[in-house]
Structure 1
Amino acid sequence: MLPLIVVATHAEAERLLDLKARVVVSGVGVVAAALATMRALAEEGAGLVISAGIGGAYPSSGLRSGDLAISSRIIQADLGAWDGQQFLDFDELGLSILPDSSHAGRFAAWGAAPEIARRTGAEVGPMLTLSSVTGSAEAAAALEARFPGALTEGMEGAGIAHAALLAGLPVLEVRGVSNAVGPRDRAAWQIAQALQATRRGVETALEVWSEGRT
């Protein structure tokens, strides 16, 4: 079975269509990504699910535009409740995204992530999924404090990871960095470089997956 690659937009898909994998465009956002992944897996099985695309890098990650990030964990970072100025996650609230077991929306990534990072020179670490893009330095710093070591921010990864978990499949998030997380400066985004980095990461992930099957 071919790996399944899920991207949010057609622009992200165009750079990946020639790879030996099935590429699905989900639309933007965690719900769209989860539903598209579930539908794709129902139509055809896969051995690996990859969430791929461009994203912003948190300031303390050290990542710059054109760099590559590989997930160690995929975290639905805005899942919880505010109690005044304090954010309570699902563990603290006693809630779960699963009906019969405890799960706070923090998904383990495919175990080959460190090898992919080694081959590509990428950083490997937690990646955050949010339904709203962070738009201030203060908000970015607060997320970094809640999730030490967070590399990037995207809007689909946790939805794709949730669908992969329900299907019993390994999952990986690959992000090419287009910008810094914080104040929105669209003119400074480096889309072409980010797309190129994303392809490099996905291509290497597919190589590692293929080697593991031989």
Structure 2
Amino acid sequence: MNILLVVATEGEALFFGALVAEVAVTGIGAVNAALGTLQAASGSRPDLIINVGIAGAFPQGSLQIGDVVVSSQITYASMGAENSNGSFLDLRTLGFPLHGTFYNQLPVWSQAAQVAEMLNLPAGEMLTVDTATGTQTSLERLQSCHPEALTEGMEGAGVAMAGLRLDVPVLEVRGISNMVGPRDRESWKIPLALKNCREALDRLLAVVQDF
């Protein structure tokens, strides 16, 4: 299976470059991720695109810093409109799909849940945001809109959109570097999150070759 790994930064690429897969560095954010993935995948035509890196975990869940998570759904949580009362209107409410029949919720590889179970990794909804959460108010708004969400990142939806346009399945795999909420940069454990993510990805790459 031909696999393309998509990362946001050169620092992340250093952790994953030794794996047996092509690595594309796109820059941060969903727009960069979509454009960079399209550019990289249009030449190599991968069978599977995996977005890897770090993420924040929502405190209402059971995830801890250093855990590794696999996506069962990628949600572009930032895309929508603010109502006059301050509530959030998603794309389905507004009547504007992102692509085809897909609104904020974007599909992942059909074998994602099976692979996560084989590797004993948690799987769930992973949010993509344009602005990383830094206040309790923002955290509570996201949690109220997405009570089942496990993580927050900034690129997954962009990679998923590129996959839809290329008709290539996408998976998001991230190591937890911090908890979502009031910003406390000193508590982040980025090296630990990337180390654990690389180890999980190494096992994942071996498993997916059988699909």
Q: TM-score, structure 2 length as denominator?
A: 0.95
| Structure 2 residue 26 is the aligned partner of structure 1 residue 26 | yes
Partner AA of 1:125 in structure 2: G
My pick for the range that moved more, 178-187 or 134-143, is 134-143
For 1:102 and 1:130, how far apart are their aligned partners in 2?
A: 21
My pick for the range that moved more, 200-209 or 136-145, is 200-209
Q: Is the 8 A contact 1:116 1:204 kept in 2?
A: no
| Structure 2 residue 166 is the aligned partner of structure 1 residue 167 | yes
Task: Extract unaligned runs of 5+ from structure 1.
Answer: none
Q: Which runs of 4+ in 1 moved over 4 A?
A: none
- Paired residue secondary structure (1:183): coil
Task: Extract unaligned runs of 5+ from structure 2.
Answer: none
Q: State the partner residue of 1:57.
A: 57
Q: Is the 8 A contact 1:2 1:46 kept in 2?
A: yes
For 2:124 and 2:24, how far apart are their aligned partners in 1?
A: 25
| Structure 2 residue 108 is the aligned partner of structure 1 residue 109 | yes
For 2:112 and 2:136, how far apart are their aligned partners in 1?
A: 29
Partner AA of 1:95 in structure 2: F
Q: State the partner residue of 2:70.
A: 70
Q: Percent identity?
A: 41
Q: State the partner residue of 2:179.
A: 180
RMSD after superposition: 1.3
Q: Is the 8 A contact 2:92 2:104 kept in 1?
A: no
- Paired residue secondary structure (1:172): strand
1:140 Cα deviation from its structure 2 partner: 1.3
Q: State the partner residue of 1:90.
A: 91
Residues 133-172 of structure 1 aligned to structure 2 (within 5 Å) = 133-172=132-171
For 2:61 and 2:199, how far apart are their aligned partners in 1?
A: 20
1:189 Cα deviation from its structure 2 partner: 0.6
For 2:182 and 2:163, how far apart are their aligned partners in 1?
A: 32
Residues 110-125 of structure 1 aligned to structure 2 (within 5 Å) = 110-125=109-124
- Paired residue secondary structure (1:59): coil
My pick for the range that moved more, 168-177 or 142-151, is 142-151
How many corresponding residue pairs? 210
- Paired residue secondary structure (2:210): helix
For 2:83 and 2:65, how far apart are their aligned partners in 1?
A: 35
Q: TM-score, structure 1 length as denominator?
A: 0.94
For 1:70 and 1:200, how far apart are their aligned partners in 2?
A: 13
Partner AA of 1:47 in structure 2: D
1:115 Cα deviation from its structure 2 partner: 2.9
My pick for the range that moved more, 140-149 or 73-82, is 140-149
Q: State the partner residue of 2:81.
A: 81
The one-character-per-residue Cα deviations of 1:6-56 (angstroms, maximum 9, x if unpaired) are 000111111111111110111001000000000011122100000100010
1:111 Cα deviation from its structure 2 partner: 2.2
- Paired residue secondary structure (2:201): helix
Partner AA of 1:93 in structure 2: L
For 2:122 and 2:147, how far apart are their aligned partners in 1?
A: 14
